[in-house]
């Protein structure tokens, strides 16, 4: 029996999911699973090796840095997002136009629509994730679903 093994440098094809659909037009995102070793590396980068957990009569609480949590979620989503189809954004303000222009290396006017398919960099993902905060959460959810499905299939292959 062969077990699936991926090194941190391996790029997997991923799976296509529809994030949004409007008037018959789909915005699709290709999401790859996040290997446990990569998830651990990202979490240690943002949280350190320890988290403070406090047990009280009223329950368990964690000393959680919400900014670090958001950065960790964005980095995980950035790793997991491979490509898109039909992803266009409108530069609605001067700041958005300047941000896109700086990252894409081209002139972007306020009100112009920019296609992002095939152009994703980590900097572009950071900019878009900041403006669309539900996107990284959705990507991470899809990556977890894929990992869970892979684990279930591996368990079935082993006869468990």
The first and second tokens of residue 153, run together, are 């299939």
Q: Is the dihedral of CA 139, 117, 41, 51 positive or negative?
A: negative
Instruction: Please give the pLDDT value at position 63.
Output: 58
Q: Are strands 81-85 and 25-31 parallel, antiparallel or unpaired?
A: antiparallel
For residue 158, what pLDDT is reported? 60
| Contact status, residue 115 vs residue 88, Cβ threshold 8 Å | yes
Query: What pLDDT score was predicted for residue 7?
Result: 55
Is residue 1 one of the residues assigned to a domain?
no
pLDDT average per 10 residues of sequence, the chain (160 residues): 52 84 92 89 82 67 73 94 95 93 95 95 94 95 89 68
Tell whether 139 is covered by a domain: yes
Q: Judge whether 3 lies within some domain.
A: no
90: its two tokens: 């409108």
Structural domain contains residue 124: yes
End-to-end CA distance of the chain: 14
**Alpha helices of the chain — where are they, by DSSP H?**
36-47, 66-80, 94-104, 122-131, 134-157
Say what the pLDDT of residue 127 is. Answer: 93
**pTM, 2 dp:** 0.78
Give the domain extent around 54.
15-152
**Cβ–Cβ under 8 Å, residues 78 and 140:** no
Q: How many domains does the chain have?
A: 1
Q: Within a domain: residue 160?
A: no
Cβ 112 vs Cβ 91: under 8 Å: yes
């Amino acid at each position: 029996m062969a077990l699936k093994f991926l090194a941190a440098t391996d790029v997997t094809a991923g799976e296509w999911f529809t994030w949004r659909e409007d008037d018959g037009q789909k915005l699709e995102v290709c999401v790859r699973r996040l290997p446990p070793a990569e998830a651990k590396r990202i979490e240690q980068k943002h949280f350190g090796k320890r988290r403070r957990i406090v047990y009280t009569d009223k329950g368990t609480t964690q000393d959680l840095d919400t900014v670090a949590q958001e950065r960790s979620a964005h980095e995980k989503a950035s790793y997991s997002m491979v490509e898109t189809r039909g992803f266009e954004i409108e530069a609605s303000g001067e700041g958005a136009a300047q941000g896109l222009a700086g990252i894409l290396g081209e002139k972007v006017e306020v009100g112009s629509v920019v296609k992002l398919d095939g152009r994703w960099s980590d900097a572009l993902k950071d900019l878009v994730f900041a403006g669309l905060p539900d996107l990284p959460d959705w990507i991470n959810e899809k990556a977890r679903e894929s990992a869970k499905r892979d684990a279930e299939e591996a368990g079935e292959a082993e006869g468990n």
